[in-house]
């Protein structure tokens, strides 16, 4: 019987990068290359369940995996529309800025985790990537690492699969650094976003989880320290839109 894991959709880009980042959904573990040239490895057995958070709710780790999976199953069809509505289209600018920092070139071996872009898709666990060591030039993840059960393990895996000199880039919601904007942002997040989710996507609970999960995510400085603890060097971050989101960067040296 299949079990829910911390699922993430990775896209592997060799010669081309697509600008559109979106959440996609598949079941099982698959690759568009039957012979598996990505260097897939077997995932380890399930670990004993312990407690973690799902938004503001305390749940078992196994329960969180299932809940996160069902959130994205529920919102997938309206994902891009809701992103445009919630951010007034600003999320597209944030993603363009991530691309500007990346500066991909022909031949770049890119792993985009928790996205739906690229030439080959693989569905699996961000905490146990099915790729060989020292495989990629760039690892990106946009609005995905917040949903991982063990963020530290996901960061360690990012470090493992990157080549020496490879770069880690993460775009994620963060901590607003202006008190007035923070109060307005909280009001909008808790009073407006779930209502938009109900009206547009027919799903209040998933967007309530969204705003709660943002508040549970580490601050810019705390996340920077976590990235350094995973082995990355020259770790920096840039806050965007008063800290609503931040782009963190680090190198495997």
Instruction: Give per-residue pLDDT as tens, 231-247.
Output: 999 999 999 999 999 99
pTM: 0.77
CB contact at 8 A, 135 and 163: yes
CA terminus-to-terminus distance, the chain: 41
pLDDT at 175: 95
What are the start-end ranges of the E strands in 27-185?
Answer: 51-54, 57-60, 110-113, 120-125, 136-142, 162-173
pLDDT exceeds cutoff 90 at 74: no
Q: What is the mean pLDDT of residues 210-229?
A: 95
117 annotated to bind ligand: yes
246 annotated to bind ligand: no
134 annotated to bind ligand: no
């Amino acid at each position: 019987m299949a079990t829910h894991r911390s699922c993430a959709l990775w896209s592997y880009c060799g010669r081309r990068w697509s600008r559109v980042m979106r959440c996609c959904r598949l079941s099982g573990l698959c690759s568009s290359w039957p012979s598996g040239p990505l260097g897939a490895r077997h995932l380890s057995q399930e670990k004993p369940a312990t407690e973690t958070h799902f938004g503001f709710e305390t749940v078992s780790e196994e329960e969180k995996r299932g809940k996160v999976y069902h959130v994205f199953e529920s919102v997938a069809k309206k994902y891009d529309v809701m992103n445009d509505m919630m951010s007034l289209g600003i999320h597209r600018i944030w993603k363009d800025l991530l691309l500007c920092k990346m500066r991909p070139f022909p031949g770049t071996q890119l792993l985009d985790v928790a996205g739906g872009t690229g030439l080959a898709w693989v569905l699996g666990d961000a905490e146990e990537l099915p790729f060989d060591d020292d495989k990629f030039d760039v690892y990106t993840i946009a609005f995905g690492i917040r949903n991982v059960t063990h963020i530290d393990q996901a960061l360690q895996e990012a470090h493992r699969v990157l080549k020496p000199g490879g770069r880690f880039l993460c775009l994620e919601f963060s901590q607003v650094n202006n008190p007035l904007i923070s109060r307005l942002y909280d009001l909008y997040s808790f009073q407006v976003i779930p209502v938009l989710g109900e009206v547009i996507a027919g799903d209040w609970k998933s967007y309530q989880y969204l705003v709660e999960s943002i508040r549970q995510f580490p601050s810019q400085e705390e996340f920077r320290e976590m990235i350094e603890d995973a082995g990355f060097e020259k770790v920096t971050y840039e806050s965007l839109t008063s800290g609503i989101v931040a782009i963190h960067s680090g190198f495997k040296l």
